[in-house]
Amino acid sequence: MSTIEATTTSESGYTSVSRVGEYELTIDATNSDGPNPNEVLVVDYASCFVPALRVGAQKAGHDDLGRVEVDISAELDDDDDLTSITFDIAIAAALSEAEVATVVESAEDICHVHDALRDELHAEIDVTPDAF
């Protein structure tokens, strides 16, 4: 089993610096010094979903999706808790509606962030093939 080792440090205020290996990410609850935690979560989700989509496509016999672009929208409640996430995904490959459904279903099984989130917060996904 693999492990993830990281550190998150906050010297003062609402800004934290997280370090994973040699990478560093500044996250700020006030959006002054970096994206806020909800923003980081939704882009992390999309960043996990894209390679999962590519692997799902390969498993279905589509070796190259080409360019993939995800427009993300997320809704927050009055307490700034995420209530919904939507991915509008454009891909260069010309897949049929049935092929897209197969690839998306496979990607949902592969994406670790998708698996980690509660079911009601899974992204609503719409894929537009042959988009570029």
Q: How far apart are CA 16 and CA 66, in angstroms?
A: 35
* pLDDT at residue 1 greater than cutoff 80: no
pLDDT recorded at residue 93: 96
pLDDT in tens, 51-101: 999 999 999 999 999 999 999 999 999 999 999 999 999 999 999 999 999
Q: Report, as an integer, the average pLDDT of 7-29.
A: 94
Give bridge partners of residue 75 from the DSSP assignment. Answer: 84
Same domain (yes/no): 28, 83: no
Average pLDDT across the chain, whole number: 94
Structure tokens at 86: 């939507």
Q: Judge contact between 111 and 90, C-beta under 8 A.
A: no
Same domain (yes/no): 104, 88: yes
pLDDT band (50, 70, 90) for residue 119: confident
Same domain (yes/no): 51, 21: no
pLDDT recorded at residue 132: 87
* pLDDT at residue 123 greater than cutoff 90: no
Is 71 or 132 the better-scoring residue by pLDDT?
71
Same domain (yes/no): 103, 116: yes
Same domain (yes/no): 115, 79: yes
Same domain (yes/no): 67, 93: yes
pLDDT recorded at residue 49: 96
Structure tokens at 96: 């049929």
| Domain total in the chain | 2
Q: Which domain holds residue 66?
A: 37-128
Same domain (yes/no): 47, 109: yes
